[in-house]
Amino acid sequence: MYSKDIEDILHKKHISIGEKVLLERAEESFEGVLMPRPDAGDNNILVVKLSNGYNLGLDFRSISSIKRVGTSAETFSFPKIKMRARTGLKTVKLLYTGGTIGSRVDYATGGVYMLTKPEELLYDVPEMADIANIDVEHLMSVASEDMTYTEWQVMARKSAEAFNSGASGVIISHGTDTLHFSSAALSFMLQDLPGPVVLVGAQRSSDRGSSDAFMNLICSAHIAAHSDIAEVGTCMHASSSDDYCAFIRGTKVRKLHTSARDAFKPVNGAPIAKVNTEGNIRHLSPYTKAGKSRKVSLREGYEPRVAMLYMYPNSDSSLIDHYLDKGYKGLIIASTGLGHIPISASHPEYNWLQGVKDAVASGMVVGMTSQCLFGRVSGTVYRYGRMITDAGAIYCEDMMPEVAYVKLGWLLGNYGRKDAEKMLAANLLGEITPRTEAEWHDEV
């Protein structure tokens, strides 16, 4: 909402949100579409979307003149349309959780802030209303770096509820920093899905000309409403050009760039599908098909006393003792290469093997993964691998450290230790790629 002064002027001049306006001040003038003012921030800042796609915030008190230069028919129309359910369209639940995709630059302060009303997410993407009836729910406003397993549980519960209430698919808008952790967690927590759960984020907030929010949201809506995929995955830019998005399995995706729009890449697998804003979906790899009559199986248990430890030269193996002392139940080691840790007797202070033995002896489940990220670990190629296997650690095949970490917490939250041990290196839902014959052969 704009300030009363602004509202009064707009009313007097018969200018509505979404119309093209010309603003003048001193020796400058600006033409653009008058945007609604998000609730947060200084309500004396007028926001206009310029023709280059950028939003511009101007202090109303500096403006000498404002006039309408285009009618609303020529320009955008706003929330009313999207909020009105249309017959014949499928229903998609959009769970709003925060993050850059739900953020706007505050042109008064230069800072980025989160929307307080999630419907605002759709202001800029009227196309979504033509794809499905988007039912927006404000779950939380949490930066993804602040997400914990409790937020994963809320998202899982609400996704299950949405399917139980007849939604064809679920979209979860989410910050990008830990989006791939959440997608892995939801993959395990939500099984036997009748339709897709699409996690979507944006690397650049949607009031910036280079934003990826629009395309990511539109493509996500197509997947959620019209694909026959019944898996949890992410849907975001797949290349540096704006041509299509990739839907990637939630356990095979990782954020691999701090700022690029195509930051989310598949690791050890191909995307399930590519999709463009027209709704063309092309399948690229096998997936679980949707089954309308299926009932979601919600397993939201989670054991937070699980750690992920990175091994590196000179790294302190006493961290394992630290976690033992704190009563941790599981440990994923992001080791080097095929799954190695320092074992040499010549540097006992950096020897990790004893720590692994102690951990296993104390009842911890210890999983071995590789910080290489790409490729598979193996406990049989080298002597060290055999020693680590003999110590009781479990080699986690081609799971990324992050996915093995999330999986182990989920396993220990829902099953006993023995079952968790067995299931950690077993493929439950596509998180482990079966070995090919060539790979077996390759291991001498």
- The residues annotated as belonging to the active site are 100, 176-177, 255
Residues in contact with its own copies, shown as a per-residue x/- string from 91 to 110 under the rule CB under 8 A: --------------x----x
Smaller CB separation from its own copies, 169 or 342: 342
Instruction: Tell me the closest approach of the beta carbon of residue 205 to its own copies, in angstroms.
Output: 8
Stretch that binds its own copies, among 7-15, 24-32, 145-153, 419-427 (CB under 8 A): 145-153
Within 13 Å, how many C-alpha atoms sit on residue 361's CB side? 9
Query: Smaller CB distance to its own copies: residue 33 or 308?
Result: 308
**What are the DSSP E strand ranges found in 115-213?**
133-138, 169-173, 190-191, 197-200
Cβ contact 118:136 at 8 Å: yes
Residues 254-293 that bind its own copies (CB under 8 A): 255-260, 263
Q: Which of 350, 391, 399 is nearest to 372 (CA)?
A: 399
- Residue closer to its own copies (CB basis): 35 or 307: 307
Long-range contacts (CB closer than 8 Å, 24 or more residues apart) made by 416-423:
417/329, 417/363, 417/365, 420/330, 420/365, 421/365, 421/394
Stretch that binds its own copies, among 33-41, 192-200, 281-289, 320-328 (CB under 8 A): 320-328
- Stretch of 3-11, 212-220, 245-253, 370-378 contacting its own copies, by CB under 8 A: 370-378
Amino acid residing at 281: I
Q: Cα 351–346–358 angle (5° rounding)?
A: 25
Position 374 contacts its own copies (CB under 8 A): yes
315 is a site residue for its own copies (CB under 8 A):
yes
Sheet strand arrangement including 273-275:
133-138, 91-96, 169-173, 197-200, 232-237, 245-249, 273-275, 281-283
CA-based torsion, 323, 324, 325, 326: positive or negative: positive
Sites for its own copies among residues 174-233 (CB under 8 A): 175-178, 181-182, 208, 210
Q: Is 395 in the site for its own copies (CB under 8 A)?
A: no
Binding to its own copies by residue 241, rule CB under 8 A? no
- Tell me the site size for its own copies, rule CB under 8 A: 77
Q: Is residue 123 within the footprint of its own copies (CB under 8 A)? A: no
268: left (phi over 0), alpha (psi -120 to 50) or beta: left
Give the nearer residue to its own copies in terms of CB position, either 82 or 180.
180
Binder to its own copies among 46, 190, 338, 420 (CB under 8 A)? Answer: 338
Q: Which of residues 290-309 bind its own copies (CB under 8 A)?
A: 304, 306-309
Closest distance of CB 121 from its own copies, Å: 18
Burial of 83 (0-12, 13-18, 19+ CB in 10 A): middle
Structure token pair of residue 146: 């602040």
